[in-house]
Amino acid sequence: MAETTTTTGHLIGYVRVSTDDQEAQLQLDALTAAGCARIFEDRASGKNTDRPELRAALDYARPGDTLCVWKLDRFARSLIDLVTMVDTLGERGIGFKVLTGALASIDPGTADGRLMLQVFGAMAEFERSLIKERTRAGLDAARAQGRTGGRPTVVNEDVLTVARARKAKGESVSATAKALSISRATLYRHLTEDV
């Protein structure tokens, strides 16, 4: 992990609320009380990778500044994401501070703080590997039982027989698909499999 420089610059706040219904005031008050010179606010789900105000905060930050968040879940989408972003900040000479919750007492600018982040990152990577292994094993077991997953097809042999008969009479694929309540692309795919 990169060395983090001593904080000599400004505190820069970042706020995220998941929906328009959620209120950001609690986060804004906490960041203002902590002394943030500038606060950036996103209204986006944590799953959303497009967070323009986070990008703006990262662009705004200069070496010696510290990015400050109210809680970790307002900043990172996963532990891997957290470790990667804090590492990137450290490489740029920018500190990171959490006001409440997990890691609030950990300073990534210290050796102990970096160690804790690395431990959390390793645990997150291990968990991700376990999930992948379980998913792969589940899919293999399903395949062994003859299940392939995905949506069941709406085109069975009866539907295909009717579609072939309509096509033989000169009816267009679009009209046939509409009459059978299936998409034109699905019908085309099944009819071309006949060829």
Query: Going by C-beta distance under 8 Å and a sequence separation of 6 or more, which residues neighbour residue 111?
Result: none
Q: From edge to edge, which strands make up the β-sheet containing 66-69? A: 38-43, 11-17, 66-69, 95-98
**Which of 112, 2, 4 has the alpha carbon at shortest distance from 63?**
4
**Which of 96, 99, 102 has the alpha carbon at shortest distance from 123?**
102
| Cα–Cα distance measured from residue 115 to residue 148, given in angstroms and rounded to the nearest whole number | 43
Per-residue b or e along 112-131, where b marks 16 or more CB atoms closer than 10 Å to that residue's CB? ebbebbeebbeebeeeeeee
Active-site amino acid positions: 18
